[in-house]
Amino acid sequence: MTATCPAPSTAPDPAPAAAFPIADTACRVVSNEPVNAEYRLLLAEAGPAALTAEAGQFFQLKCPPTTLDRPFLRRPMSVYRIDRQNGQIGFLYKVTGKGTRGLSTLVPGDTLEAIGPLGLGFTLPAGTRHVLLVARGVGLATLTPLVQMARAAGAEVTAILSARNPAMVMSRDELAAQGARVIEVTDTAGDSDMAQVEALLRRLHAEQPFDFAATCGSNRLLQLTKALSAEWQIAGQAAMEAFMGCGMGMCYACVLPVTAPSGETIFKRVCREGPVFSIEEVQSW
Ligand X SMILES: Cc1cc2nc3c(=O)[nH]c(=O)nc-3n(C[C@H](O)[C@H](O)[C@H](O)COP(=O)(O)OP(=O)(O)OC[C@H]3O[C@@H](n4cnc5c(N)ncnc54)[C@H](O)[C@@H]3O)c2cc1C
Contact positions toward ligand X, by CB under 6 A? 58, 71, 73, 75-78, 80, 91-94, 96-100, 138, 141-142, 241-244, 270, 275
- Give 236 or 275: the residue with its C-beta nearer to ligand X: 275
Figure out which of the listed residues 66, 188, 196, 219 binds a copy of itself, where binding follows CB under 8 A.
66
What x/- string results for residues 235 through 274 when contact with ligand FMN is judged by CB under 6 A?
A: ----------x-----x-----------------------
Q: Which of residues 249-278 bind another protein (CB under 8 A)?
A: 249-256, 266-267, 272
Residues between 237 and 276 that touch ligand FES (CB under 6 A): 244-247, 249-254, 269, 271-272
Q: State which of positions 159-178 bind ligand FMN (CB under 6 A).
A: none
**DSSP assignment string, the chain:** -EEEPPPGGG--S-PPPPSSSSEEEEEEEEEEEESSSSEEEEEEE--HHHHT--TT-EEEEPPPP-SS----S-EEEE--EEETTTTEEEEEEE--SHHHHHHTT--TT-EEEEEEEESB---PPTT--EEEEEEETTHHHHHHHHHHHHHHTT-EEEEEEEESSGGG--SHHHHHHTTEEEEEEETTTT--SHHHHHHHHHHHHHHS--SEEEEES-HHHHHHHHHHHHHHT-EEEEE-----S-SSSSS--SEEEEE-TTS-EEEEETTTT-BEEETTTB---
| 256 interacts with, out of a copy of itself, ligand X, another protein, none, CB within 5 to 8 A per kind | another protein
Cβ 251 to ligand FMN shortest distance, Å: 4
Stretch that binds another protein, among 20-28, 133-141, 151-159, 194-202 (CB under 8 A): 20-28
The listed partner (another protein, ligand FMN, ligand X, none) that binds 142, CB under 5 to 8 Å by sort, is ligand X
